[in-house]
Amino acid sequence: MAMAMADPSAELEKLREENASLRDQLRHHTLRELAAGGDGLRGSSGGDGGGGACPAAAWAAGGHGLSRDQVQRYSRQLLLPSFGVGAQERLCEGSVLIVGAGGLGSPVALYLAACGVGCLGIMDPDRVEVHNLHRQVIHTEASVGELKVASASRACLAINSSIKVVAYPFGLAAKNALEIIRQYDVVVDASDNVATRYLVSDACVVANRPLVSGAALGMEGQLTVYNYSNGPCYRCLFPTPPPQAACQRCSDAGVLGVVPGIVGTFQALEAIKILSKVGDPLSSRMLILDSMSSRIHTVKLRGKSAECVACGGSPAINHITLPNFDYEGFSSSPMSDAAPPRQQVVGKDQSITCRDYHKSVEGHKAHVLLDVRDQHQYIIASLPNSLNVPFDKLPEQLDTVRGAAKKHAPDGGENVPLYVICRRGNDSQQAVQVLRSAGFNSVYDITGGLQSWVQEVDPTFPDL
């Protein structure tokens, strides 16, 4: 006799409902018993409350010091056999310093707060800006203009008011690094500049603290743990700073918001593993994320270097020399995650301010406006009647520029003024030099680029 097959999804739904109902009954039953001081939970005779007067004492911890609130809050990770009460206790007693409350620091702070790390230090000198929000998910629209550490601390305590959060509204500096880092068990580098990377690494070596280091750029990310379990430090791998640290282009690579989110979440995981002594932290290995192909792989890193000036046999960097080390000079990079300062390359006689250029446009004076940003940036927003020739392609497109100059010159010559603009005013100065050496005589840099245009002339133009 063939039996009719029950609809599996209907069966599953029925079982779910029964399960929810049983859970509900059990919860109410337990709460009623607790309220009555009964012995619904195990070990009611134990505890330190004496008798049944104190409901919270109506249970016994099996040799651990977690409170009832902590057991309830962290129950889903306590249930993990590989984690358990010992690991949770170590987290609750532990402390982590997070250097940077931006794209990487956001998930680090949120997850470490949520999972119960006892004390979080959050360090960042900057304020929340609207263009941060696509990746710095710890901040909200309401916190734009506020110090990032204030916004981040509030978010962490909103998730878990039982932890302690210390806010440092300034950047890590050679003078303060050792004193602050020594107060924490683990350090997470969530900064985004080369100078701070060297400083955090050196300070962690001198203070003997493990460092969870992460980076995200464009569509890619990477992370590793330095100075842990006899593994290398940052200087072991990069004894000299990358040359691009000194290179200040206007065309920043940009970053897809979720990429630092993923890397930061991995950083939180590594900090949890180190603090709780669970798992195998990423020492001497580097995890590399290629978000576009959804590939993650780990590569083995070189070991500790005997010649390393920080962690080698005879280190030049120690608690006396570190506070006086010039990290910005050494790395040719500012110790700030903000945009690098604009460099003045061309003279004032070859420059025009945004205000003066605007007056010239309003006076209908013949000219050519050359925008040397990459095409994909130009498409986002540009000034009217501009000609886009990307800086990298300028040498091969001089005829295009010459043609535009001829078209706009009242006398048919080439001497119509040529104004060059870019995002921040660095590439445009170099373009002026290229054009002048190619024979263009009246070429001028629009000082400060489109960022200055927003500030000086048109606040409705998008601040890129």
Could you give the residue numbers annotated as active site?
A: 250, 422
d(CA 274, CA 228): 9
User: According to CB under 5 A, which residues from 296 to 335 bind Zn ion?
Assistant: 308, 310-311
Q: Measured from the CB atom, is 233 or 278 closer to Zn ion? A: 233
* Contact by Cβ (8 Å): 98, 69: no
Residue 311, marked binder = yes
CB of 118 to Zn ion, least distance (A): 29
Q: Binding-site residue total for Zn ion (CB under 5 A)?
A: 6
Calpha distance 202→330 (Å, rounded): 13
Binding flag, residue 235, Zn ion (CB under 5 A)? yes
Q: Over 417-456, what HEC string results?
A: CEEEECCCCCHHHHHHHHHHHCCCCCEEEECCHHHHHHHH
User: Which range, of 65-73, 235-243, 333-341, 364-372, touches Zn ion by CB under 5 A?
Assistant: 235-243
Smaller CB distance to Zn ion: residue 287 or 311? 311
Cβ 306 to Zn ion shortest distance, Å: 9
What is d(CA 298, CA 224) in angstroms, rounded to the nearest whole number?
A: 9
Residues 33-62 within binding reach of Zn ion (CB under 5 A) = none
Q: 20 CB contacts (<8 Å, ≥6 apart)?
A: none
Q: Is 408 annotated as a binding residue?
A: no
**134 assigned binding-site residue:** yes
Cβ proximity to Zn ion: between 199 and 233 the closer is: 233
Confirm whether residue 124 is marked as ligand binding.
yes
From CA 346, how far away is CA 367, in angstroms rounded? 20
CA pair distance 380, 374, nearest whole angstrom: 10
What are the structure tokens assigned to 390, written together?
A: 């990307």
Does 435 participate in binding Zn ion (rule CB under 5 A)?
no
- Number of CB atoms found within 10 A of residue 429's CB: 24
Query: Segment contacting Zn ion (CB under 5 A): 26-34, 74-82, 232-240, 248-256?
Result: 232-240
236-255: which residues touch Zn ion (CB under 5 A)?
236
What distances in angstroms separate CA 66 from CA 30, 35, 73, 272, 398, one per listed residue?
20, 21, 11, 17, 72
- Minimum distance, C-beta of residue 171 to Zn ion, in the bound complex (Å): 23
Given the rule CB under 5 A, which residues bind Zn ion?
233, 235-236, 308, 310-311
Q: What residues are designated binding site?
A: 103, 124, 131-135, 148, 192-193, 233, 236, 308, 311
Q: What residues are designated binding site for ATP?
A: 103, 124, 131-135, 148, 192-193
Q: What residues are designated binding site for Zn(2+)?
A: 233, 236, 308, 311
